Amino acid sequence: MIERIAEFSIRRRAWVAGAIAALTLVLSWFALHVEVRTVFEDMLPSRHEYIRTHEKFKDTFGGSNMVTIMVEVEQGEIFERHVLDKVRTITLGLRELSAVNQYQIISLASKKLKEVRASTEGIESRPLMWPDLPASAEDMAELRDAVLRNPLVYGPYVSKDLQATLITVDFIDHAVDYATAFAEIRALIAGVDDGSVRIRAVGDPILYGWVNHYVPETVNLVAAAMGLTLVMLFVLLRTWRGVLLPLLAGVVSAIWALGICRLLGIHFEPLVIVVAMLITSRAVSHSVQIVNRFDDELAVIAADPGCARQAAKVALADLFRPGMLGVIADAACMAVVALSPIPMLQKLTLLAVVWVSTLTISAVILTPVLLSWIRRPHGFAQPVDFAPLLHKVLDFGVWMATSRFRYAVIGCSLVVTLASGLYAFNLKIGDANPGSPILWPDATYNVDSAAINGRFQGVDRMFIVIGEDGREGLVKSNEVLHAMNGFQRFIEAQPEVGGSLSLADVLPVVNSTLREGNPRYLELGDNQMVNGSLIAMLDSVSEPGDMDRFTDNHYANGAVTMMFRDRQGETIRTAVARVKEFIEKNPLNEGHWQLAGGLIGVTAAVNEVILSSQIEHIALALLVLVVICTVVYRSTMAGLLFMVPVIISNTLTFSFMAWKGIGMNINTVPVAALGIGLGVDYAFYVADRIKEEIAAGSTPEKAVFESMHSAGMGVLVTASVLILSTALWWASSLRFQAEMGLLMAIWLGVSAMSALFVMPSVIYVFRPAFIFGRRERPVLSGLRPASAGA
Amino acid sequence: MTMASMAKAGTAMERLIRIGLSALPWLIIGSLLWAGLFVKPQPVGASVQPPVLERRDNFYGIAAGREGQLLVAGTGGKILRIDPASGRVSRDRTPVGETLQDIAGWNGERAVAVGNDGAILISADGGPAWERVADVPRSEVANKLTRVKTAAGGVAVASGEMGALLVSRDFGATWARLREEEDLAWNDVALVDASRMVVVGEFGRILVSEDGGTAWTEPASPVPSSLMAVAFRDAKNGVAVGLEGVVLATHDGGRTWRQAELGIHEHLFDVAWDAAGGRWIGAGALGRWITADAAAERWQSGRLDERDLSWHTRVLPLNGQVWFAGANVGRWDGQAWTPLAD
């Protein structure tokens, strides 16, 4: 079968190459038009309880695309005309932005922040600083006192030291384009920034805006990594084919994958570039293996005009099984992630599976087909030969596998695996540190975020809803109001919760105001009648939209909004667990609680989904791998054998993540999933070659030697090249990419090490029957009758 | 054992191992499938110990307790014990959830706290053991008790909404009305000596009794706005404060009152005689403090801290320092304001 494919591909090489070229040409048109952007809604597991609540109430109680802008003075107070003028200009400017939620722009200069006052006619409410700035010093002092008196403003919107004030704005989830929002907000800030105040902005649109901002740098890094890869390949392999064919394999599969992506209507997330690089590195690896095998074959056959053709055929046939196996295992392990209910992961999985699958053509078929056209296969393009050095390393591997040291190798691997396996349980779900893990701690965004969280109650919000659809006025009930109040006291005991806000905070202010400003009445009424009349009073002085932050129009559902100082996984888990604890201990007679909206609510849902599917992903990916190996080699032992490198590389990588505080979140999950399949590719080549040698009649020692110096050479070359080029990513301004680059380097390093040093020992010691036992006809027997001993 | 049987046992053993080995992969495949399908880790949160001083706490009342400690009472029935020397704060267990409005003691040994919905707590040991007093006279309309004052012999008088003026003569064990219900709130009472009481309340009203609360006279008040607190330094000289910066002084045991002009408009909520400092001292909204000489003639006022504009409903001079309780609790030495932090 394999022989026939090889025969056909080489005989009809013009047709095969032509077809691939034509297809590539067509797909490149589509690939050029693929959309590069982050779509927020794709990150949400839409069927999760929290997301349903979020979707239902986000327009009223605040979505997850909130931007918080802080205007801060270094000396004195914000109550200066020139400072407040900037606040006002920004507030008014925000209304002009695209996809902005007009009803959710809140600042001192908005109509929303009001003071409720007692007057001779009852109570009245008036905006603090709308429409105009305070004209005189007295007006300014009056504004300052009004702010200080108002617990809903002093603290939440004006810092306790009066040196900073906030402007918050919400963007409409389905319409927001992060790049646009980022650019518009930056332009707005730049318009008023004269150096007299500091203006900082945070929020997801800003965060992902920064990611987009760094796309050009990322593109440069990709180019640099590719350049380095090519230079190193040229140095190590010493031929143009060793440089150009892997490059071509990478480019062709990228074009195919992106083209198909565009046809399927999937957009490309900037953060996914890491995954793309990872897959491209697979293309390069496979292609280098084939070029390497081609070179090996040339060394043993006569240098006649048809030798390139013959060698290409042998390379294709010989590496077809491990190559295909590697590609299919990668794709299948990755495909498991599609079980996740998060659309972004599903789409990314589809992209990755398609991309990996294209390697079957671009690397496994195209490379040998093009090799068959090589005219002067025996020359070298550069004089420096590193091969002796590399062979020394490989000799060391052979010695480890065939000497008594092999037992030590197996023992050590076992210890390392167990130890790192145990340590890997420290891996955190969600963000492991304060600030965004996408950016470095000293990035502007993280510095701004820390500054705002230090001065205020917290930037990131979660709302939970209490009430019931169709039950008008339920929120006005004594029970619900007191439940809200009790809940807020309870949840604020957690230090990371900077504060919370609900209707139950507004009514005490009204109550106290009605009682001549007596703070002994700064509390909810103790019966329905009092609370009902407080709300009626509040309603009478409110304008449409004023109560949106607290309740829907019919008072059927009310919100408690919590402000969080960070969004670490641990913080969110604790908060959600405590919310549930409170609900369980304080059952309601009417209405019910609904978790949870806002950015923190959404993140909680995503984290829960990732946590609950973590074991599922790893177990099913391993299962898929075992099954594929079992089927291909018709031996359950094969499945078991190839689990070894996978387990080693994954426990080590997960331990590294735990050690460096890299959390498992929506961005790292796909990289980790791809890594599972990645760990095994190299081992396939080495083991398969040993099997081939044994089948051709070699002794075990000779088989190990041959395998190491041919397949092992490919592994050593590609691993060292790719490790160095992925290490370049450490220079990225995006911490996420830098860390993922490092992670990939570790993955490649560990899987190469285990393929070169651990697998031969394991195979040599345990002598699995599917390699040693059955005398199968070698794949090459028909192609290479004369070279059985090579 | 013969060689043959040993060999047989050996082959049997080998066969067992071989069966075990060939079953192993299936076992692993099975367990992976099981783990993949059924193992769903659930989130576990860290446990949180609520701090003694919580962000939403208001402390309406403060009193000197045993051994130099302070007692504060406030939101949700909370009573805290503060050690001024170390700053250590601990919480007493209380049997109520109603907000407590005031707390007072008898020489540190016994104590009483009053609050919303007619709640009265007493303690025979000055804390930490508190019990709720049953059968407190109630109104049908409203029952918030805002202040309580104590005097020698186990006397206590609590004042509050709907004309509540309740007296106890047995360290708070039983309570009786001093006056009939009426639709106004009495905000504070001063127990001037064994028989004289002065009460202030809404609409600037003032009551004086010279026989322990049986007969009352109502002197003319110079202001129509609510008076919030009253204090006497001896049988004759007293000060009352109220909303919008009102300060009244009397030099005849409460029969006549004269308004002092301080030029401030913030609400004032409490006033006390600081015997050690020989001065009057008061507290109010927006961090306001007021002080005056013994004659209550020369008044001064200011803010505790330009950046901390919290309101305070109680002021308590103690050992050369002054404690304020309200939206927060802290001490003031005349210069610096040091709020308690957890």
Helix (H) and strand (E) counts in chain A: 28, 10
Is the pLDDT confidence value at A125 over 90?
no
Q: What is the pLDDT of residue A785?
A: 47
Tens digits of residue pLDDT in B22-59: 777 788 888 888 888 888 888 887 888 888 888 889 99
Contact call for residues A47 and A54 (beta carbons, < 8 A): no
Asked if A519's CB is within 8 angstroms of B313's CB, the reply is yes
Q: What is the pLDDT of residue B231?
A: 96
The C-alpha angle with vertex A75 and arms to A69 and A79, in degrees rounded to 5, equals 65
A283's tokens: 């293309």
B164-168/A592-597 β-pairing: unpaired
A742's tokens: 């490092």
Is the pLDDT confidence value at A784 over 80?
no
Helix segments in chain B, DSSP class H:
3-38
Q: Which of B31, B34, B55, B329 to mutate to probe the A interface, most A CBs <10 Å? A: B55
**What residues in B contact A489, CB-CB < 8 Å?**
54, 56, 76
A198-202/B258-260 β-pairing: unpaired
In this structure, chain A runs to a length of 790
Contact call for residues B103 and B61 (beta carbons, < 8 A): yes
Buried b (16+ CB within 10 A) or exposed e, A655-674: bbbbeeebbbbbbbbbbbbb
B70-74/A460-467 β-pairing: unpaired
The full DSSP string for A79-120 is -SHHHHHHHHHHHHHHTTSTTEEEEEEESTTSSSSEEEEEET
Buried b (16+ CB within 10 A) or exposed e, B130-143: beebeebeebeebb
State how far residue B40 is from chain A, nearest Cα, in angstroms.
5
Asked if B144's CB is within 8 angstroms of A616's CB, the reply is no
The verdict on domain B191-342 having CATH code 2.130.10.10 is: yes
Peptide bond preceding A544 in cis form (omega within 30 of 0): no
Percentage of chain A modeled with pLDDT above 70: 97
Asked if A616's CB is within 8 angstroms of B36's CB, the reply is yes
Confidence of residue A574 (pLDDT cuts 50, 70, 90): very high
A636 reaches B (C-beta below 8 A)? yes
A626 reaches B (C-beta below 8 A)? yes
Q: Of A103, A62, A155, which is closest to residue A601 (Cα–Cα)?
A: A62
Closest residue on chain A to B57 (Cα) = A489
Does ipTM top 0.95?
Answer: no
| A625 contact partners, CB below 8 Å, separation of at least 6 | A329, A332, A333, A639, A642, A643, A646, A676, A677, A680
Contact call for residues A466 and A426 (beta carbons, < 8 A): no
User: SS3 for A155?
Assistant: coil
A767-771 contacts, C-beta under 8 A, 24 or more apart: A767/A700, A768/A635, A768/A637, A768/A638, A768/A641, A769/A635, A769/A637, A770/A633, A770/A634, A770/A635, A770/A637, A770/A638, A770/A691, A771/A687, A771/A690, A771/A691, A771/A694
Using CA atoms, how far apart are residues A53 and A464, in angstroms rounded to an integer?
A: 8
Using CA atoms, how far apart are residues A464 and B52, in angstroms rounded to an integer?
A: 26
A463 pairs with which residues across the strands?
Answer: A561, A597
Q: What is the pLDDT of residue A789?
A: 36
Confidence of residue A38 (pLDDT cuts 50, 70, 90): confident
Is the pLDDT confidence value at A679 over 80?
no
Which residue reads 């949840």 in tokens? A491
A363 reaches B (C-beta below 8 A)? no
Q: Of B193, B211, B179, which is closest to residue B253 (Cα–Cα)?
A: B193
Q: What are the C-alpha distances in Å from A750 to residues A417, A649, A758? A: 11, 5, 10
Asked if A488's CB is within 8 angstroms of B54's CB, the reply is no
Strands (E), A524-616: 557-564, 592-597
How high does pLDDT run on average in chain B? Answer: 90
**What residues in B contact A138, CB-CB < 8 Å?**
none
Contact call for residues B157 and B167 (beta carbons, < 8 A): yes
Is the pLDDT confidence value at B8 over 70?
no
Q: What is the pLDDT of residue A333?
A: 85
Percentage of chain A modeled with pLDDT above 90: 28
A386 reaches B (C-beta below 8 A)? no
CA quadruple A770, A774, A780, A786: dihedral sign: positive
Using CA atoms, how far apart are residues A783 and B272, in angstroms rounded to an integer?
A: 108
Contact call for residues A467 and A593 (beta carbons, < 8 A): no
Confidence of residue A727 (pLDDT cuts 50, 70, 90): confident
- Considering CB atoms only, which of A520, A574, A578 is closest to B60? A520
Is the pLDDT confidence value at A19 over 80?
yes
Is the pLDDT confidence value at B5 over 70?
no
Q: What is the pLDDT of residue B145?
A: 96
Residues 580-619 of chain A with CB under 8 A from chain B are 607-608, 611-616, 619
Q: What is the pLDDT of residue A185?
A: 94
Q: Of A323, A326, A329, A332, which is closest to residue A364 (Cα–Cα)?
A: A323
**What residues in A contact B223, CB-CB < 8 Å?**
none
Q: Of A782, A765, A607, A731, which is closest to residue A221 (Cα–Cα)?
A: A731
Asked if A570's CB is within 8 angstroms of B46's CB, the reply is yes
Calculate Rg over the CA atoms of chain B: 32
**Which strands, in side-by-side order, build the sheet including B197-201?**
B186-191, B197-201, B206-209
B153's tokens: 């012999």
Asked if B26's CB is within 8 angstroms of A523's CB, the reply is no
Phi first, then psi, for residue A479 (nearest 5°) are -60, -45
Q: Residue A543: is it exposed, middle or buried by C-beta count within 10 angstroms (0-12/13-18/19+)?
A: exposed
Q: Which of A490, A518, A584 to mutate to probe the B interface, most B CBs <10 Å? A: A518
Q: What are the C-alpha distances in Å from A569 to residues A610, B48, B80? A: 11, 16, 34
Q: What is the pLDDT of residue B12?
A: 80
> What is the H or E stretch that residue B258 is in?
strand B258-260
**Which of A170-174, A184-188, A632-636, B303-307 ranks highest by mean pLDDT?**
A184-188
Domain with CATH 2.120.10.80 in chain B: 59-183
Closest residue on chain A to B243 (Cα) = A516
Confidence of residue B178 (pLDDT cuts 50, 70, 90): very high
Write the single-letter amino acid at A269: E
Confidence of residue A786 (pLDDT cuts 50, 70, 90): very low
The verdict on domain B59-183 having CATH code 2.120.10.80 is: yes
Q: What is the pLDDT of residue B3?
A: 56
Phi first, then psi, for residue A605 (nearest 5°) are -65, -45
Q: Which of B53, B56, B59, B310 to mutate to probe the A interface, most A CBs <10 Å? A: B56
A553 reaches B (C-beta below 8 A)? no
Return the axis-axis angle of helices A700-727 and A759-766, rounded to nearest 10°: 160
Return the axis-axis angle of helices A735-753 and A668-678, rounded to nearest 10°: 10
Q: Of A519, A530, A515, A542, which is closest to residue A476 (Cα–Cα)?
A: A530
**What residues in A contact B55, CB-CB < 8 Å?**
492, 499
Write the single-letter amino acid at B167: V
Contact call for residues B144 and B117 (beta carbons, < 8 A): yes
What is chain B's percent helix, strand, coil content, to nearest 5? 15, 40, 45
Contact call for residues A290 and A368 (beta carbons, < 8 A): yes
- What average pLDDT does this structure show over B88-116? 92
**Which of A43-52, A209-218, A449-458, B167-176 ranks highest by mean pLDDT?**
B167-176
State how far residue B285 is from chain A, nearest Cα, in angstroms.
9
Q: Of A414, A281, A264, A349, which is closest to residue A620 (Cα–Cα)?
A: A349
Contact call for residues B304 and B332 (beta carbons, < 8 A): yes
Asked if A489's CB is within 8 angstroms of B54's CB, the reply is yes
B147's tokens: 């202040």
Asked if A578's CB is within 8 angstroms of B45's CB, the reply is yes
Is the pLDDT confidence value at A51 over 50?
yes
How high does pLDDT run on average in chain A? Answer: 87
CA quadruple A74, A75, A77, A81: dihedral sign: negative
- Considering CB atoms only, which of A162, A518, A640 is closest to B24? A640
Asked if A489's CB is within 8 angstroms of B285's CB, the reply is no
- What average pLDDT does this structure show over B280-284? 96
Is the pLDDT confidence value at A445 over 60?
yes
Which residue reads 């380097």 in tokens? A745
Contact call for residues B283 and B302 (beta carbons, < 8 A): no
- What average pLDDT does this structure show over A713-718? 89
**What residues in A contact B35, CB-CB < 8 Å?**
615-616, 619
Confidence of residue A198 (pLDDT cuts 50, 70, 90): very high
Q: Of A5, A78, A103, A19, which is closest to residue A455 (Cα–Cα)?
A: A78
Q: Which of A154, A455, A520, A571 to mutate to probe the B interface, most B CBs <10 Å? A: A520
Q: What is the pLDDT of residue A782?
A: 61
B58's tokens: 């208001």
Is the pLDDT confidence value at B164 over 90?
yes
A76 reaches B (C-beta below 8 A)? no
Tens digits of residue pLDDT in A730-769: 889 988 888 888 888 888 899 899 999 999 999 998 888 8
Asked if A494's CB is within 8 angstroms of B48's CB, the reply is yes
- What average pLDDT does this structure show over B137-163? 94
The full DSSP string for B120-168 is EEEETTSSSB-EEPS-----SS---EEEEEEETTTEEEEEETTTEEEEE
- Considering CB atoms only, which of A518, A575, A577 is closest to B44? A577
Tens digits of residue pLDDT in A203-234: 989 998 998 898 889 889 989 998 999 899 99
**What residues in A contact B101, CB-CB < 8 Å?**
520
- Considering CB atoms only, which of B24, B43, B55 is closest to A576? B43
Closest residue on chain A to B307 (Cα) = A161
| A727 contact partners, CB below 8 Å, separation of at least 6 | A741, A742, A745
- Considering CB atoms only, which of B25, B43, B146 is closest to A520? B146
A142 reaches B (C-beta below 8 A)? no
State how far residue A573 is from chain B, nearest Cα, in angstroms.
5
Domain with CATH 2.130.10.10 in chain B: 191-342
Using CA atoms, how far apart are residues B11 and B220, in angstroms rounded to an integer?
A: 116
Q: What is the pLDDT of residue A779?
A: 66
State how far residue A489 is from chain B, nearest Cα, in angstroms.
7
Closest residue on chain B to A154 (Cα) = B309
Is the pLDDT confidence value at A550 over 50?
yes
Provide the terminal-to-terminal Cα distance of chain B, rounded to the nearest Å. Answer: 80
B100-106/B110-115 β-pairing: antiparallel
- What average pLDDT does this structure show over A716-731? 88
